[in-house]
């Protein structure tokens, strides 16, 4: 294993549902491990027992009466626990943390998707992340129509958020585009219509530029 740096690197992956994030995270994880770089993969909401319990509540399609504010606060609560229990200790040990979603998802889904006040969402994000910001974010950008086709082919049952439909996903995508425009140094937009290999190549090029791997 590479000597752990005193401070690790925090990389997040964002995009609408079925954009291909999880596949890309796995490929990058394998690549970093092959290069002897200490790396972990986690997901938001989730990862710790408390955060996974909150995830179950959030995605349960029986919870159709949940208010958007409750939803926001539950995402933040799940995240705060994950930051405390897993991310901060991992970064302090010099580990690379690959995280499937983080606070940009809250901005995109609860802010742009649900229409909650963006200033309040930003404040909530500061609490939920306990002021931890990703070093690099990959936004895998995919047309919501293509994502819907993929979802249909997979035949999976939609969770509570996925069941919101195409118009909602369009708003969320617009949110991610705005986030990228407002923070281009951190957030890299990757063309999600490319092949799996091409997307991974784009990601690795940026990872190399960040000097995470030679
Ligand atoms: P996942 O399926 O990508 O793990 O994410 C679970 C769902 O939660 C997905 O539909 C996106 C949604 N979500 C939010 O609405 N707000 C958030 O802050 C996060 C992290 C996810």
Query: What pLDDT digit, counting tens, does each position of 130-178 carry?
Result: 999 999 999 999 999 999 888 888 877 777 777 788 999 999 999 999 9
Atom of ligand 1 nearest to the CA of 113: 15
CATH of 10-209, one of 3.40.50.300, 1.10.3720.10, 3.40.190.10, 3.30.565.10: 3.40.50.300
Decide: helix, strand or coil at residue 10.
Answer: strand
Separation between Cα atoms, residue 199 and residue 203, nearest integer Å: 6
- Report domain extents, the chain: 10-209
Contacts of residue 195, Cβ cutoff 8 Å, sequence gap at least 6:
none
Whether ligand 1 lies within 6 angstroms of the CB of 43 is answered as yes
For residue 94, count CB atoms less than 10 angstroms from its CB and return exposed for 0-12, middle for 13-18, buried for 19 or more: middle
- 95-123 burial, b at 16+ Cβ within 10 Å, e below that, comes to bbbbbbbbbbbbbbbbbbbbebeeeebee
Expressed in angstroms and rounded, the spacing between residue 7 Cα and the centre of ligand 1 is: 27
Q: What is the pLDDT of residue 6?
A: 56
Using pLDDT thresholds of 50, 70 and 90, give the confidence band for residue 2. Answer: very low
Q: Is 70 exceeded by the pLDDT of residue 107?
A: yes
Q: Find the helix packing angle between 68-82 and 118-128, rounded to 10°.
A: 30
Ligand 1 pocket test: pick from 82, 83, 161, 166 the residue with the most ligand atoms within 8 Å of its Cβ: 161
Nearest to 173 by CA among 144, 202, 197, 211: 144
Separation between Cα atoms, residue 34 and residue 32, nearest integer Å: 5
Expressed in angstroms and rounded, the spacing between residue 102 Cα and the centre of ligand 1 is: 9
């Amino acid at each position: 294993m590479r000597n752990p740096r005193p401070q690790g690197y925090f990389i997040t992956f964002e995009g609408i549902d079925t954009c291909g994030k999880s596949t890309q995270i796995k490929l990058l994880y394998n690549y970093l491990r092959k290069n002897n770089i200490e790396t972990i993969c986690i997901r938001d909401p989730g990862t710790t027992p408390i955060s996974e319990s909150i995830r179950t509540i959030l995605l349960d399609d029986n919870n159709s009466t949940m208010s958007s504010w409750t939803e926001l606060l539950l995402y933040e609560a799940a995240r705060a626990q994950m930051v405390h229990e897993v991310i901060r200790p991992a970064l302090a040990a010099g580990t690379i943390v690959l995280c499937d979603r983080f606070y940009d998802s809250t901005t995109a889904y609860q802010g742009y998707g649900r229409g909650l006040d963006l200033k309040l969402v930003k404040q909530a994000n500061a609490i939920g992340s306990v002021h931890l910001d990703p070093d690099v974010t990959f936004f895998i950008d995919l047309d919501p129509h293509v994502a819907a086709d993929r979802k249909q082919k997979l035949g999976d049952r939609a969770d509570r958020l996925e069941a919101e439909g195409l118009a909602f996903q369009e708003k969320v995508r617009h949110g991610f585009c705005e986030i990228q425009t407002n923070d281009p140094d951190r957030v890299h937009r990757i063309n999600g219509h490319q092949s799996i290999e091409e997307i991974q190549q784009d990601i690795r090029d940026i990872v190399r530029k960040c000097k995470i791997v030679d």
